[in-house]
Chains A and B, each alone.
Chain A
């Protein structure tokens, strides 16, 4: 009887252990809807084969909705998401709040040293890698080679703003519905202000001086805005104050833009199957003004683990898989090198197969030429190229974006927009306690 009892107890213990061993951990991943993320969801069989005890549930949301949901969750310590897709703007802010788990202890084969230094710099806080880049991007000039040739011009690999203006003037043909240049005009911190802040860096402007004093009353910002408004008024499309990334993409794909300066990720779209000018597109670095800084930005959609997640190990296993070098090879084997998430790893750009992708080198050069820790000519107290990594920035920049968009629409002069921006930002910074 005693033996039977022991045997029964032993069997129960074994069954319990077996049950525990086969217990599945489900992690929830919040992400945005873009081609690279959708592709990853289609390749999950590989992850499940390597991690049979982890199940991944996806929550795919529009960018702004995602930002609101993950911010609410992480700020309240909700723990609803185990992996969050966040941008380079959130990482330094959330990192300082202590909301993100360190990824320094990813396995050795993850090879964190292989991450592009410019990208890794924006995702590291106090020596801790807090988010693993899934894809990185900068901005560059995309131009119509055929129109440039017809105008008798050649686009330098590293143009100046004067080159851009000359090219825009030469390519504009209103009768043929061709605009010399298409740029963002839609108000928003991630829309026109991403472009204008990056552009202002090349004009030597800055959002704040070393003491967090607003700088919109300085001549550099006036030069930036005047140049932008002149360019867009004379050579840009009608209704440009409503145009963001997608609107300009549509115009360019339909052959209605001679040039477009925007995210490097657009290169695959303008040379893709939906583009009517796919074989006529050339690439160049974002323009400069000879001051040592180019007007390009730096952004990475990255995967991070909130400290509130109860499934840290499973979340790390997923991030390791999704952002490892092996994942890039997996995408290449299934969908070709042109579809590999760009802008994250040095080894990708050393790969001769990837070097054949037409926009690979220009993307790398653009990313490498942006430095989030020294974004502009003069010293600044903040991190971020096309943004200022402080929590107040998104709201302030959207308001400033509305003023600049109104100037583009002809509802304000450049001087009025800048004066209002200066007052608005100065007041906001005083209210937030940065200045007295």
Chain B
């Protein structure tokens, strides 16, 4: 009897989980489907699925009109570059906060997080001027720095949470065995926090890849990533949904595939320490 109830509950939660997952994934799925329709079919009412006019023309048009490889490479460099640079700064910062906390550590963490609460547009003009004057405008270096700064609070917070789960005694033992600070962080802490660091890295690559305010505002031609590529296919007048969907699919496909392969690491890292 108990077994039967358990199976029913299991079934219920499985169905519920799939329903929520499908609900979340539906916009992405619909974008992908729309990208293979003609413009007329894409806006048909009621929406067409089985009877739609399917075509690959949108992909061919988008490829012909834009230099996709350039946008793609910019996205790769900017998202990976900003994440690695962020980790380089965040690992020692999170270490000190987790293992050598001061009186103001909690306040410092809250202050860092509070910078994420400010709307980006509030600092648009200062950022624009700084980038102009320093020659960082429309450069990959500039965007790596901007996105690193933008995501740094999240990286530090995530790493801090993971590091807090690591018993301080292990690091203490290493120190007693004569490990230097560098060796302690590099050879003891980092390997133990690999799942956390990996999930932080994956999440921040996704955040940087999808960032669309600064990447569009601070670039024109040379450093424009895939967010600018998508923005170029939206139109105020005329039908553009199918081509826009094709451009969006081309832009999200790499990160979707990366997320698919990295999901085990991502879930493991995100639930790290959630249940004791």
Contacts and interface: CB of A to CB of B under 8 A. Distances in A.
Q: Which of A30, A249, A256 has the most CB of B within 10 A?
A: A249
Contacts of A61: 216, 228, 231-232
A69 interface: yes
Interface stretch (A72-80, A157-165, A339-347): A72-80
A78 B137 contact: yes
Chain B, interface size category, equals 20 to 34
Interface string B81-106: 00000000000000000000000000
Given A28-B221, A59-B221, A80-B137, A65 B237 contact: no
Interface stretch (A33-41, A324-332, A372-380): A33-41
Given A72-B128, A78-B128, A62 B234 contact: yes
Interface stretch (B39-47, B72-80, B172-180, B192-200): B39-47
A300 B25 CA distance: 40
The DSSP consensus for interface residues of chain B is loop
Interface stretch (A107-115, A119-127, A263-271): A263-271
Contacts of B275: none
Contacts, number: 89
B44 to A, nearest CB: 7
A65 B221 CA distance: 15
A338 to B, nearest CB: 15
B52 to A, nearest CB: 14
A32 B216 contact: no
A59 B125 CA distance: 20
B40 A274 contact: yes
Nearest to A245: B237
B40 A253 contact: yes
B216 A65 contact: yes
A249 B238 CA distance: 8
Given A28-B220, A80-B137, A254-B44, A35 B232 contact: no
A289 interface: no
Interface string B25-39: 000000000000011
Contacts of B44: 254
Nearest to A62: B234
Interface in A269-289: 269, 274
A266 B237 contact: yes
Contact of B220 (A38, A68, A80, A251): A80
B45 A57 contact: no
A76 B217 CA distance: 13
B166 to A, nearest CB: 44
A173 interface: no
A139 B125 CA distance: 36
B238 A34 contact: yes
Interface string B218-239: 0011001000100111111111
Contacts of A81: 220
Nearest to B241: A246
A398 interface: no
B183 interface: no
A72 B128 CA distance: 8
A33 B232 contact: yes
Contacts of B228: 59, 61
A232 B112 CA distance: 51
Contacts of B40: 253, 274
Interface string B195-223: 00000000000000000000011001100
B240 interface: yes
Contact of A35 (B138, B234, B238): B238
Interface in A220-265: 245-246, 249-251, 253-254, 256, 263, 265
A384 B230 CA distance: 32
A217 interface: no
B100 to A, nearest CB: 42
Interface in B105-163: 124-125, 128-129, 132, 137-138
Contacts of B232: 33, 60-62
Nearest to A81: B220
A34 B220 contact: no
Interface string A41-69: 10000000000000001111111010011
A206 B128 CA distance: 38
Contact of A246 (B138, B221, B239): B239
B65 interface: yes
Nearest to B217: A69
Contacts of B239: 246, 249-250, 269, 274
A78 B221 CA distance: 15
Contacts of A59: 220-221, 224, 228
Contacts of A266: 237
A251 B228 CA distance: 29
A34 B235 contact: yes
25 contacts: A32-B236, A33-B240, A34-B235, A34-B237, A34-B238, A59-B224, A61-B228, A61-B231, A62-B234, A63-B235, A63-B236, A65-B231, A78-B137, A245-B236, A246-B43, A246-B237, A250-B43, A250-B239, A253-B40, A254-B45, A263-B237, A266-B237, A269-B238, A269-B239, A274-B38
Interface of A: 28, 30, 32-35, 38, 41, 57-63, 65, 68-69, 72-73, 75-76, 78, 80-81, 190, 245-246, 249-251, 253-254, 256, 263, 265-266, 269, 274
Given A38-B65, A62-B232, A76-B125, 15 more contacts: A34-B236, A59-B221, A60-B232, A62-B231, A62-B235, A65-B216, A65-B231, A72-B124, A72-B128, A76-B129, A78-B137, A250-B43, A256-B45, A266-B237, A269-B237
Q: 7 closest A-B pairs (Cβ-Cβ)?
A: A62-B234, A60-B232, A63-B236, A274-B40, A57-B221, A250-B43, A33-B235
